[in-house]
Structure 1
Amino acid sequence: MEGQNNNSKLKAIIVILAILLAGSLAYMWKMSSDAKTTQTTLVTEKESVMKDLEALKATYDQAIAENTSMSDELIAEREKVVKLMAELEKSKGDVAALSKYRAQYRELEGKMKNLMVEVETLKKENAGLVVERDSTVKALGEQKKFNDTLVIQNENLAKTVEKGSQLTVMNLRTQAVKERSSGKLVETERARRVDKLKVCFTVAENKIAKSGEKTYYVQVIDPKNNVLGDKQTVNFGDQTLTYSFTTTTNYENKAVDVCELLAGKDFEKGAYFVNIFDKNELVSKTSFTLK
């Protein structure tokens, strides 16, 4: 009987130990499973925080690329994100650390949102300034065109006034004459009788011309191409004029007749040419013939 009791006790102990072993194994399996689940969750959370930080950095990169006046501030905030990403990469990924990184991410995200609002406001203001600048440039361009047109018109008007203010010499006529002892001049066509040439012309009326003394250069050329009279020369820039005589009249914007006598002797037979110059500009010409 005593042996049977001992066997029964031994069996009971074995059963208890088996139950305890099974419980321990079950507990250990559960702990291992929970640890794996926790580790997987921590890895997933770490990857999630890293992706959020990468997205945050990409947002800053895009905003910085737009090169606004806030670029320096945006760069500083991006560097904070980059630093936090480096710290997260090195971390072991425990619950406390991930909670800290998640909290820092939210803080950086809030700052980013505020900065993006400022960036958008600044972009709108810049867009308005660009439109205003373009309008100003356009207006200035139109004003320049208008001014250029006025300059051209004024230049043309000045040329017109200058041209209109030039004096006109007309009715140029030359007489070959013989002066009698009484002083009377008798017109003749005979070369041997001529001792003077009478050159007359009219300066026409011009209300816009400049009044005052006006000098003309008279050039008389004989049949042998000689300049008669004084044969003086005058330079006008790179041009030289040889003239017979000059005549000066006081011009007062009204028509005025001018007559001068050119004395000579031994006049040749043939064609003579008479030219009137206003400085170096030929303003009138005529010819006559002596027999």
Structure 2
Amino acid sequence: MKALNNTSLSKFLKFSPVILLVSLIIYSFKTHENKNQLENEFFKEKKILEKELDKIVADYKEIRTKKKWLTKRVITGMNKIIALKDSVKKMEKVNYDLLFKYSLKVTKLERENRKLFLKAESLDRENKRLRKENNDVKNQLEAGEKSYNSLLAKNKKLTAEERELKRKVSIAGNIKISGIQVQALKERNNGKYTSTSRSRKTDAFKIKFDMLPNQVASMGKKQVYVQLLDKNEEVIPSERSDANKEIAYNDLINVNYDKEKIGVVSLISVDRTQLTKGKYTVNVFIDKRKVGETSISLR
């Protein structure tokens, strides 16, 4: 990892001047008997320790600047080294015991800090790995979400297309009729009917049309409603009329439709005394769907 290959951190982890310093102290006791020489040697060794501490502090500061992941414990350890450096610099009298004590303290702090650095870097490495995994999972979730949204959009499109197709099929399956023929009739004494155009002579209306062939339409029973309206769009009373149904009608015919052309005839008897001259409208419904309309005018 880059952090362990960093020059400053490598020097901090690998360099240990304290062992050399301790050896020099012991050597000094054995070889220097003159007080002045001992003092000179002491301050030399003190200077060596100061320089090494300066290097360590400089490395700490560089690491602290570059490594944003340092924990409070690591920073506290670094501050202890800095404080120790200040204490060494303040030594003005020869005191090998204290110098030796500081040297041991440096060794201990280096060892502790080395462990803290390694642990902190290990945690940083693990955090980076977890962040990468988190980003990978996030990217996968985003990709999954995009895929889901894409599928959802396709499904909506297919559903709309299916509805449209069903609508078209439904329309295509609707049964159509030919033009409606309507005729006003008067009844003779022998019971036969003849055509008339006068309202006061009309006893019945004859309505004719064909249900046209449609291979898409469903087969079976079809309810055909015939509706006869006056100029006020009211259903004219007749012997089979029913104005209270969903579709008010004058005639209801059940037709067995087999997808082929079939003729339909409706004869609606009325009371001529209730008719007036004017326009009369005929509406035809198949299974409650209006399929045709025409009109007839009576004098």
**The two structures share one fold, judged by TM-score above 0.5:** yes
Match for residue 243 of structure 2 among 222, 228, 232: 232
Equivalent residue number for residue 153 of structure 2: 145
Equivalent position SS for 2:69: helix
Contact 2:69 2:120 survives alignment (8 Å): no
Letter of the structure 1 residue corresponding to residue 262 of structure 2: V
Report the CA distance shift for 1:173/1:80 in structure 2 as closer, same or farther (over 3 A). Answer: same
Match of 1:274 in 2: 282
1:245: how far off? 3.1
Which amino acid in structure 2 is aligned with residue 265 of structure 1?
D
Task: Tell me the TM-score normalized by structure 1.
Answer: 0.68
Change (3 A) 1:144 1:182: same
Alpha-carbon distance, 1:262 to partner: 1.0
Question: Deviation of residue 186 (structure 1)?
Answer: 2.1
1:208 pairs with 205, 208, 216, which one? Answer: 216
- Gaps of at least 5 residues in structure 1 are 1-25, 64-77, 236-240
**Cα distance, 1:228 vs. partner?**
0.9
CA distance in 1 between partners of 2:43 and 2:138 (Å): 59
Conserved? CA contact 1:274–1:285, under 8 Å:
yes
Residue 81 (structure 1) aligned to one of 49, 70, 74: 74
Other-structure match for 1:265: 271
Provide the rounded CA distance (Å) in 2 between the counterparts of 1:248 and 1:60: 91
Contact 1:275 1:284 (C-alpha < 8 Å) held by counterparts:
yes
Counting aligned pairs with the same residue, the percent is 23
Could you tell me whether the CA contact under 8 Å between 1:49 and 1:102 is conserved in 2?
A: no
**Aligned twin of 1:66:** none
CA distance in 1, matches of 2:244, 2:287: 12
Structure whose CA Rg is larger = 1
* Runs of 4+ residues over 6 Å off in structure 1: 57-60
Find the aligned partners of 1:62 and 1:165 in 2 and give their Cα distance. 74
Confirm or deny that 1:135 pairs with 2:143: yes
Query: CA distance change for structure 1 residues 54 and 289 in 2, over 3 Å: closer, same or farther?
Result: same
| Structure 1 residue corresponding to 2:251, chosen from 205, 228, 245 | 245
Instruction: Check whether the contact 1:53–1:105 (CA below 8 A) recurs between aligned residues.
Output: no
1:62 corresponds, among 69, 72, 82, to 69
Moved more, 161-170 or 134-143: 134-143
> Which consecutive unaligned segments of at least 5 residues does structure 2 have?
1-33, 89-101
SS of alignment partner, residue 245 of structure 2 = strand
SS in 2 for 1:62: coil
Residue type of the partner of 2:279? Answer: A
Structure with the higher strand share, 1 or 2 = 1
Q: Give the 3 Å change call, closer, same or farther, for CA 55–208 of structure 1 in structure 2.
A: farther
